[in-house]
Structure 1
Amino acid sequence: MAMPVGWLLTRSHLGLRAAAGRAGLDREVHWAHAIELDDPAPWLTGGELVLTTGLRLPADPEPRREYIARLDGGGAAALGFGVGLSHPAIPADLLDAAEERGLPVLEVPLATPFAAVTRAVADRLADERMREIQQTVRHQERMARAAIESGVGGVVRTLARSTGGQALVVSPGGAVLAAEPRDDPRSAGLAGRVAAELARRRPPGVRFALTADDEHGHLIVQSLAAASVRRGCLALATPRAPAPADRLLLSHAASLLALELERPRDARAVERRVRATLLRLLAEGGLDPAAVDAHVLPLGLRGDQRVAAFAGYAADARSAAAAAEEACARIGAPYLLDAADGARGADGGADRGGETVVVVPAGDAADAAREWAALVRTDAGPPPHVGIGAAAALRDVAASLRQARFALRMARDEGRPSVDFAELGVFSLLFGERAGVSAAAVAAAVLDPLVAHDGARNGELLASLDAFLRHNGTWEAAAAEVGVHRHTLRHRMRRVEELTGRRLDSARDRAEFLIALAARDVGAPPGRTGRS
């Protein structure tokens, strides 16, 4: 607990004045004490506001300069000099010495007792301590909610953000179960530090706590144990030794994590079935919209929350489902999950094989999908594929599920690791949340780069593209209609591909061009076509 020296100057009832060392007004005061010794330094611990009337102050300038040097060297935050008793004013040589060192000197008027200054400091420190306690309680409550909603990853994320440090949980075998910040090289470095410290210290027993300081800062490693079995370790790295409140949060996090890792398997199985049933009911419209919150709030979600689905395919469906749970835990995201495993899918569709569908808050979908793919990928088996749906309200999640599966099907057909439905151009507009959008918007999604090019260069890319498609890619016929050599038409089509990022030898891309050109005609003002 501390306050800046300058804060005391804002207490008008004290009447203090900065007589020297204004550059040091941001120094932190941890306590205030009256000391009438000619050398108080041996009794200082650092951060004190030393109060004196100068009763024992030497008469000569040089010893007074040494007095200031000893105060500054002893870590004093400032000197409060009471005038009107032994000194009518603060000696000028003392002020000069303090100014040179940046040590604040506060003039305390005769009417202000030192006890009033000490009381002001004590009251401020008490207020700061109360605020810290209240903040710690809020962090503990937030951490408990995170444990319920997001498991291990939620607790780790809350701990790191509350303390301003890095946190991670490792299994007894050294695997990282959750880390914050995620996808950060520092987390890999922290895991290495933890492994090295455990190997060096070899702590005995199930329960232990280790601390270490090195060039990277302060490190605390605490075991996670319940029922006399160690389930892993929690590590917290901070630039400096954590405050007592941060240590309290670390202990609270360790308790929550130990309980979370100890949860019985049958309880996890019941929870898994609940999540899958809720997802299926939401997808099939089997839940009263007014009752959605009552079912999903305990899982950390809300009916009106923006969510997104991702669908993943892996050879081993059961391990894929476990990987999805771990992926969500790692990033601290609440979720609904259904592993089809050869059964009816979450939207009531047909056999999905080794497909897993997950619904998470919209901002976490890409991270969750990436974590899942990394967890299920193996050197021996076929690579996993992922499709990500567009964002939608949880009550309307069926659309995002269909989109995720559509994107997954494209990913598998084209051999791509991941496909995001929102990046599918015309398909996203026609079948996405904005279905029914104007024809002009459909056309613009594909043709805007060509419109801009033709407008800036008086070009004919649009007309050339239209002719090429209407003549089924026959170069001679299309070139004759446009009135150019077929080599010129080939050049124009290459330019169309460059500007739009699509390929004319792709059936899907050709379909997008045809739909967009037709939509441009439909959306054109009356009496003219979109290509005129």
Structure 2
Amino acid sequence: MFSLNALVRTTSLGLRVLVPGSEGALEEPVAWVHNTELPDPSRYLRPRELVLTNGLWLGSITAAEFVANVRRAQGAGIVFGLRPEMPATPPELVAACRGAALPLLEISPDVPFTAISEAVAGLYTEERQSALVGMVRRGDALATAISRGAGASGVLRVLRRDYELPLAVVDRMGRPLASAGAELTGEQLHTVAAALARRPPPLETDLGAAGRAALFLVGAVGDVDAALVCLRPVADLTRAEQAALEQAARFLSLEVAKQQAVQAIEQRFAGELLEMVLSGGSRAAEVPGRLRAFGVDPDGPLAVWALAFADEESTLPGMAEVAGEFFAADGIPAVVAGGSRDVVAVLSWRRSERELAPLAERLAANVAERFVGRRPVVGLGGVAMDSTGLREPLVRSREVCQTLRRGGAGPAVRAFAELGTYRLLLGAQDADTLRSLADGLLGPIRAHDTRRGSELEATLRAFLDHDGQWAASAAALHVHVNTLRNRLAKIAELTGRDVTRTADRVDLFLALEAGDML
């Protein structure tokens, strides 16, 4: 858009400012020009249009009424055209414009209104050509940045050459991909991620102390995968700034799609590595080469961790990436694989094992900051001397993680050796042995529960969890003590194990634990 001052600076028009209006009014954008002699042009006048008039309406209404009508329609100002019959602008019109703080300009009778229209058309053409040239130039710079691997940071650098805006790129997991002039807190990153999860995502979101921020959506593979965040509300951005940000968001979609493709390949390779470790046999020979591909030395000590969220049966998208970023920031070579129930990390570890727990606690804190409202837990499976010994610490780390998930408000990090002797014994058994132990005792109980709709297994768990205390167990199950006794008698009948005897109680407890490990 052009401004009144731009017209005044067009010397061929010979415009003279009689009333400048409110402060800055001459620099405000003007939508177009509107030639009218109607006493009340408000019904036909669009906001921010400039009124061109010769004052033929003066015999019908007063100047104050005409100015009020223009002001009501949010006109940008008035250009009064002099004519032989009226060689000077009426003083009452000058006074009315001054009272309404509405700009008033005067044009000579030798210059027709069509000259103003032509000048406006020229200004618009020049502005659009300049914007088009700027967009093409910026597009070339953005394409160059992407092709040279500058990533999201390179895109923001190109934007900041033209506009000093506080910018950040955040993906739908709340991960910061790049920033320039804007550093978002963990809570603000979570707010952006929550906004992107909405359908449809909003174009603005409230970032608390940072105020309202505009979101320019970045789509990679058929969905909203990230946002170009500008720490300014949309209303405070000029049309040129909005166009530039929208253009950058389209280029960012290429970068996000590339990153997603790379991450998908890495995750698939990492997942296959875990399958190789667990399956053993011929596939175990592929493990060293796969570890080297991730920069992990297969011939040196390797620590294995399992990460999950407490009281949740599945992991969240992006959890593996957050863990991978944590190890990369610490300079620790690692393979991180995301599964449906946990995230497993295999890391090169040549330091003391005592340093594993503090590092795992920092990882848990980092994940908690990125996934607000969730409680991460980390199971430490121990350290293998090299890649040939990975299977045991892998199984142990997952067992510890599973135990911590059920542990309520317990510790966030534990090692397998801290779980107790019975877990060490069970962890040393293969899957067939564990399945035989669990099915042998729990099979009849579960069959009865399925057939009769009873709760014998839940009753057994509650009784053992409360150390065989009858009243506490009954209260936890919300049943009478006599009902509890009848259920435990049925369990004894089905399994041949009496919960009042220590040896039998141990058998039942180990069967439940073996079932959970499976």
Please indicate the TM-score interval, normalised by the length of the shorter structure. 0.3 to 0.5
TM-score scaled to structure 2, two decimals?
0.46
